[in-house]
């Protein structure tokens, strides 16, 4: 008996990695850019400062990894939530292509913008 291999374990790996990244980094970014800077507690960074921050290659690679992981986390969550809550499991292939295709397109856009 041969078993058919699926990409599901890899998608769950990307989902969990994205969840960890989102849980660790996004609250800090929301606090900085959504609360402290608009209230004037911290100064907004200048364009030259942000450009200098994104100049090293490892920083850009790390940012791409964070963006891609967060996008795949969201895609996986949207796919399974929509199938369960909306009862549209019969459209699994279409929903999966739409969700993961959007994550791949967003990751590609991030690479194009950062490099």
Contact in structure between 12 and 73 (CB atoms under 8 Å): no
Arithmetic mean of pLDDT, 38-51: 94
The pLDDT-based confidence of 2 (bands split at 50, 70, 90) is low
pLDDT digits (tens, 9 = 90+) for 86-111: 888 889 899 999 999 999 999 999 99
pLDDT for the residue 109: 97
Reported pTM: 0.82
* 10-114 fold: 3 helical TM bundles of succinate and fumarate reductases (1.20.1300)
Share of the chain above pLDDT 70, in %: 98
Percentages helix, strand, coil for the chain (3-state, rounded to 5) are 80, 0, 20
| DSSP codes joined into one string, 40-99 | TSSPPPPHHHHHHHT-SHHHHHHHHHHHHHHHHHHHHHHHHHHHHHH--GGGHHHHHHHH
């Amino acid at each position: 008996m041969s078993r058919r291999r699926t990409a599901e374990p890899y998608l769950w790996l990307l989902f969990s990695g994205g969840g960890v990244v989102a849980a660790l980094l996004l609250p800090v970014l929301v606090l900085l850019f959504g609360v402290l800077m608009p209230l004037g507690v911290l100064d907004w960074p200048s364009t030259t400062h942000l450009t200098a921050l994104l100049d090293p290659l490892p920083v850009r690679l790390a940012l791409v990894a964070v963006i891609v992981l967060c996008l795949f986390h969201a895609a996986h969550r949207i796919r399974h939530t929509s199938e369960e809550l909306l009862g549209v499991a019969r459209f699994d292939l279409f929903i999966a292509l739409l969700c993961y295709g959007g994550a791949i397109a967003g990751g590609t856009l991030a690479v194009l913008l950062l490099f």
